[in-house]
Amino acid sequence: MKRKIVPVVMVLVALLLVPCGAFAAEKKGLLVYDSIYGSTVEVAYWIKAIIGIEHQLDVKTIPQVITLEPYDYIILGSATRNEGPLKRMHEFIEANRSVLATKELCFFLVCGDSDETQVLKVPGKEAHLIAGRNYMQPIYQRYPELKYTCIAGFGGRQVMASLGLTDRLQIKLLEKLAKEGAIWIGFDIWESLVVERVEAFANEVRVKVLGLQPRENVEQFRGYWQSLQPANLKDPSMGKFKRKPWTERVDTKKLFYTRSRIKGDLDPTIAMLETWARKNGYDLRVQVKTFFNVYYHAAKTYGGKERIIHIVPSTMPEDPGTVHISFRSYDKPEERAEVQKDIEAAEALLWANGRKLP
């Protein structure tokens, strides 16, 4: 008799504990955003929809937040200015950094440039890595104690007619100075946002922060972003979003630039670049290294001068199982023949064995 009672009691205790455990596990979240022209707001509510309105996630603009205490996790989201989050987002982090350090954090940026293999050179500034998640660098440097479970840089939207005077002047100046030109010229509305990145980020929060399954059929939520607003009032055929080409070769007076993508992972790509550098006499100097990309200066002296090739292999959230690689030389055309030949040799190695993708 006693033998039968013990297992029955154990089953009853287990049945009572299971639902308590399930309820206790639910984490409470806060998404704090900062936006100037509104696109980051749309993205914030889109992320909430994919995470699921059945889960507690308050969405608030900075002045609406009086405390972070009730939350287990916090998603910070900001528009991008001058290659980093907005000033007010920095102030918010600074004011709350000791509390933020105790919370689980995620960070997303809404930005114009989304190609994470991109290097920018403008007069008066060293060439440097820009775009998407690369804009997290100032955040890492200023608040090294903060760690992030998920980060993303989605791209964004620029509504040209709405830009304030100083913003318009700054954008015009960039159009003139950027050696690679400006992709938004000719648009009334220009969008660079990669929708799959928003979906991947929200699902990463579901999986890594909330311990849920990724949501399927996420395309149903794209209405939070897409609209009937045209790209150009005079040209109805024009699309607002045109993906930056995955394969490109630009040869101008100011720049030699190639970009391609291959099947594979970051580590084997790095190994191939190291082999190429050794064989061709380049000193491969790491400028920035993250979990998703590396920015190298490949240096070699010839013609009495040190030549630098800027190389960035990067994985992309929207293109899994591939690595995108850019090469840039800012030497003058008459001085860069050897550099171009060496870049072609690097590409031949990377593209071999059917790895090259269109």
Ligand X SMILES: Cc1cc2nc3c(=O)[nH]c(=O)nc-3n(C[C@H](O)[C@H](O)[C@H](O)COP(=O)(O)O)c2cc1C
Residues that bind ligand X (CB under 6 A): 35-40, 79-83, 110-113, 131, 156-158, 163, 167, 170-171
CA distance readout (Å), 327 to 26, 91, 343: 46, 36, 7
Return the number of other C-beta atoms located less than 10 Å from residue 168's C-beta: 13
Nearer to ligand X, 40 or 269 (CB): 40
Nearer to ligand X, 65 or 171 (CB): 171
Nearer to ligand X, 157 or 307 (CB): 157
How many residues does this entry show for the chain? 358
Return the number of other C-beta atoms located less than 10 Å from residue 323's C-beta: 27
Closest approach, Cβ 248 to ligand X, in A, equals 18
| Residue carrying structure tokens 């960070």 | 107
> Do the Cβ atoms of 39 and 110 come closer than 8 Å?
yes
Nearer to ligand X, 124 or 358 (CB): 124
Closest approach, Cβ 44 to ligand X, in A, equals 9
User: What interhelical angle do 39-51 and 195-204 show, nearest 10?
Assistant: 50
Closest approach, Cβ 74 to ligand X, in A, equals 19
Contacts for 71 with CB less than 8 Å, ≥ 6 apart: 28, 29, 30, 58, 103
Closest approach, Cβ 146 to ligand X, in A, equals 21
CA-based nearest residue to 326, from 342, 309, 308: 309
Nearest residue to ligand X, scored by beta-carbon proximity = 156
Closest approach, Cβ 224 to ligand X, in A, equals 14
CA Rg value for the chain? 24
CA distance readout (Å), 305 to 112, 119, 179, 302, 331: 35, 22, 22, 6, 10
Nearer to ligand X, 38 or 211 (CB): 38
Closest approach, Cβ 267 to ligand X, in A, equals 28
Nearer to ligand X, 163 or 177 (CB): 163
Closest approach, Cβ 91 to ligand X, in A, equals 16
> Do the Cβ atoms of 240 and 189 come closer than 8 Å?
yes
> Do the Cβ atoms of 232 and 187 come closer than 8 Å?
yes
Nearer to ligand X, 180 or 283 (CB): 180
> Do the Cβ atoms of 329 and 322 come closer than 8 Å?
no
Nearer to ligand X, 36 or 49 (CB): 36
| Residue carrying structure tokens 């994985």 | 315
Closest approach, Cβ 94 to ligand X, in A, equals 20
